[in-house]
Amino acid sequence: MPSERPTGFGIHDLSFASTRFVLTHAELSRHRGDDVSKYHAGIGQRAMSVPAVDEDIVTMAAAAAGPVVERHGADNIRTLVFATETSVDQSKSAGVYVHSLLGLPPQIRVVELKQACYSATAGLQFATALVHRDPDQQVLVIASDVSRYDLDSPGEATQGAAAAALLVSADPALIRLEGPSGLFTRDVMDFWRPNYRSTALVKGKESVTAYLQALEAAWQDYRARGGVPHGDLRAVCYHQPYSRMAHKAHRYLLERCAGGADPLAVDRAVGLTTGYNELLGNSYTASVYLALAALLEGDDELAGRLVGLFSYGSGSVAEFFAGRVQPGYRDHLRTAAHQEAVTRRWPVDYATYRDLRETLLPTDGGHYSLPQQTAGPFRLAGIRGHERIYEPTDR
């Protein structure tokens, strides 16, 4: 007999991971001689994740995806989409390394996507289309990034690192995607990183303006295509280059589309979405899905409610869409593991952080081993003849 028709498509599981070390903004303010409120209140950031020498986007991605594969198995995963703007190779997808580390079967397509902080949402939409075509398959979407700006620059305080893994399936346990997407693209140089640079270039004020203009345009497209009014959304998860940007964005949206923004309404919509981002820092492609994890874990009355998501990638591409939280969603959350990923990070002083930042991998093609610093399940063990060598740890 034919299987029952799926009731929808979307996010079946959500897991994230971060790094071994953390630099608090209290320590950063001490080094810079700033009032810490500049960071805590001004941009809404309290700490930033800092990678160990043997951690990168691959090790974080495998750490985030491992629990998803362990819970659900890999038999139905037919595609792995890796979204990042801090890729480790100009040709090979970082997802291929993850595929190997997790021992996934060979009958899987693997691809890497890039468009600044937006590409994980593209991966989610592509994954949903694949699962819609074949409801028996699942797609693993991984977003992983390490954000770096020049030392002592204004952007330094917004750095961070994390990976989020989404399992996309029919009949999802967490979020069923509903309705249209509102889309917007415009060629703007608000943030970019040329191939010859290890740190990004950003025009701060121009980037905020570009973000807000993209939000308004994507929202208008969403509504024009039949999307629900903002009052029907229980909350909105925004891309958070810093957590106060979520408040700024929602206030802007209400002022433009509702004629005014009540501060309480803004806080109700975004207040529960910032908990992880303010402690992990900007994780680029993973940011909006860390916001979703914080919302799901922080609100126990979301079942059956619509939540909005706004994904923005500088340069720029934006998308506004919505999903309905599924009954029983709290039974599938990873709250304890996520809180441990945040609390187990080892605090470092500014000098140690700076040493980590200034440690560069060799580029001469020689053989180099890296010391084990990570507390995670996977590590970058070394470089040999320009090849990155990854391995599991005993943790």
Distance CA 272, CA 248 (A): 15
Question: What is the predicted pLDDT for the residue at 2?
Answer: 43
- Regarding whether 214 and 95 lie in a shared domain, the answer is no
Residue 332 annotated in active site: no
Residue 97 lies in a domain: yes
Whether residue 4 lies inside any domain: the answer is: no
Distance set, CA 155 to CA 27, 53, 144, 182, 203 (Å):
16, 22, 19, 29, 10
pLDDT at 214 over 80: yes
48 and 23 Cβ atoms separated by less than 8 Å:
yes
Same domain (yes/no): 166, 236: no
Are 321 and 349 part of one and the same domain?
A: no
Q: Which is it for strands 47-50 and 21-24: parallel, antiparallel or unpaired?
A: antiparallel
95 — phi, psi (to 5°)? Answer: -65, -25
Is 162 found in the same domain as 91?
yes
Neighbours of 303 (CB within 10 A): 13
**Residue 340: partners with Cβ closer than 8 Å, 6 or more residues away:** none
3 found inside a domain: no
Which domain-ending residue is among 312, 329, 346? 329
Would the CA dihedral through 184, 190, 191, 193 be positive or negative? positive
Q: What is the residue whose two structure tokens read 């999307």?
A: 227
Answer whether 85's CB lies under 8 Å from 286's CB.
no
Which listed residue (85, 216, 278, 319) is catalytic?
85
Residue 395 has pLDDT above 70, yes or no: no
List the structure tokens of 3: 């299987």
Q: What is the pLDDT of residues 34-59, one digit of tens each?
A: 999 999 999 999 999 999 999 999 99
If you average pLDDT over residues 61-85, what whole number do you get? 98
Q: Does residue 209 sit in the same domain as residue 187?
A: yes
- Contact, 2 vs 37, CB < 8 A? no
> One-letter amino acid identity for 295?
L
How many beta carbons lie within 10 A of that of residue 232, not counting itself? 11
In three-state secondary structure terms, 194 is coil
Residue 211 lies in a domain: yes
The answer as to whether 1 is a domain residue is no
Residue 12 known to be catalytic = no
List, for residues 319-371, the tens digit of each pLDDT value: 999 999 999 999 999 999 999 999 999 999 999 999 999 998 999 999 999 99
Sign of CA dihedral 149, 154, 155, 156: positive
Q: What is the pLDDT of residue 4?
A: 76
Q: Quick one: pLDDT at residue 3?
A: 56
**3 state DSSP class of 182:** strand
- Token look-up 């209290």 returns 26
Rounded CA separation 162/343 (Å)? 14
**For residue 14, what are its two tokens?**
């959500």
Separation between Cα atoms, residue 76 and residue 137, nearest integer Å = 5
- The residue annotated as part of the active site, out of 25, 239, 247, 338, is 239
Looking at the structure, do residues 214 and 225 belong to the same domain, yes or no?
yes
Q: Is 237 a catalytic residue?
A: no
Split into its structural domains, the chain has a count of: 2
3-state secondary structure 20-46: CEEEEHHHHHHHHCCCCHHHHCCCCCC
The single residue of 112, 117, 156, 278 carrying the catalytic annotation is: 117
pLDDT reported for residue 1: 37
Give pLDDT tens digits for 160-211: 999 999 999 999 999 999 999 999 999 999 998 999 998 888 888 899 999 9
pLDDT category at 6 given cuts 50, 70, 90 is confident
Domain of residue 109 covers 9-173+333-392
20 has a pLDDT exceeding 70: yes
Question: Do both 211 and 306 map to the same domain?
Answer: yes
pTM for this entry: 0.97
Task: Name the band, by pLDDT with cuts 50, 70 and 90, for residue 258.
Answer: confident
Listing DSSP states for 107-166 in one string gives S-EEEEE-BTBTHHHHHHHHHHHHHHH-TT-EEEEEEEEEE---TTSGGGGG-EEEEEEE
pLDDT of res. 261? 81
- Where among 329, 353, 375 does a domain terminate? 329
